[in-house]
Structure 1
């Protein structure tokens, strides 16, 4: 199981002088990541999060990312849209080529004031 590590995040934050606490954008695509974790603790200022082409089955641990505007989860294993209520600034969610089967889960996005595109 590939997990998100602090070292992985630091290596991907070279444009931010390896500072992860003020990181606004990160690309963790094609890493075979199986769980979305720790970013809500280490990178509270994230606005853009690229996680395409991983093995993530569930949207989780992003509720504290109040500034998150865009999350790309294309080509993962997501089955349900959930746990985004705390993402107050979310405008766009990319779930292209996933396994979302419960369309009622789209209702959870209606409560996000800035949300514009799925």
Structure 2
């Protein structure tokens, strides 16, 4: 199981002088990641998060990313849309090629007035 580690985030933040606390965008695609973790603590200013083409089964630990505008979870193993209520600025979500079976979970996103594209 690949994990989101501080080292991985620093490697992917070369455009930000390896500084992770002020990161606004990070691409963690195709890393075989199975769990979203630590980003809500280490990278609270994220606006754009690319997690496509991983092995993530559940949306978690993103609720504190209140500046997050775009979340790409395409090509993962997501079955339910959940744990996004704290993402106050979320405008765009990509769930292309996942396994979302509970469409009621998508209804909860309607309360987010900023969400424009899913």
TM-score normalised to the size of structure 2? 0.99
Distance across 1 between alignment mates of 2:113 and 2:66 = 12
Matched, 1:40 2:78: no
Q: Which runs of 5+ in 2 are unaligned?
A: none
Give the aligned length.
Answer: 118
Pairwise CA distance, 1:113: 1.8
Pairwise CA distance, 1:112: 1.1
SS at match of 2:59: coil
Aligned to 1:89: 89
Distance across 2 between alignment mates of 1:85 and 1:72 = 16
Distance across 1 between alignment mates of 2:72 and 2:108 = 17
RMSD of equivalent CA atoms: 0.4
Q: Which runs of 5+ in 1 are unaligned?
A: none
Pairwise CA distance, 1:108: 1.2
Runs of 4+ in 1 over 3 A off after TM superposition: none
Pairwise CA distance, 1:111: 1.4
Pairwise CA distance, 1:74: 0.3
TM-score normalised to the size of structure 1? 0.99
Distance across 2 between alignment mates of 1:26 and 1:98 = 21
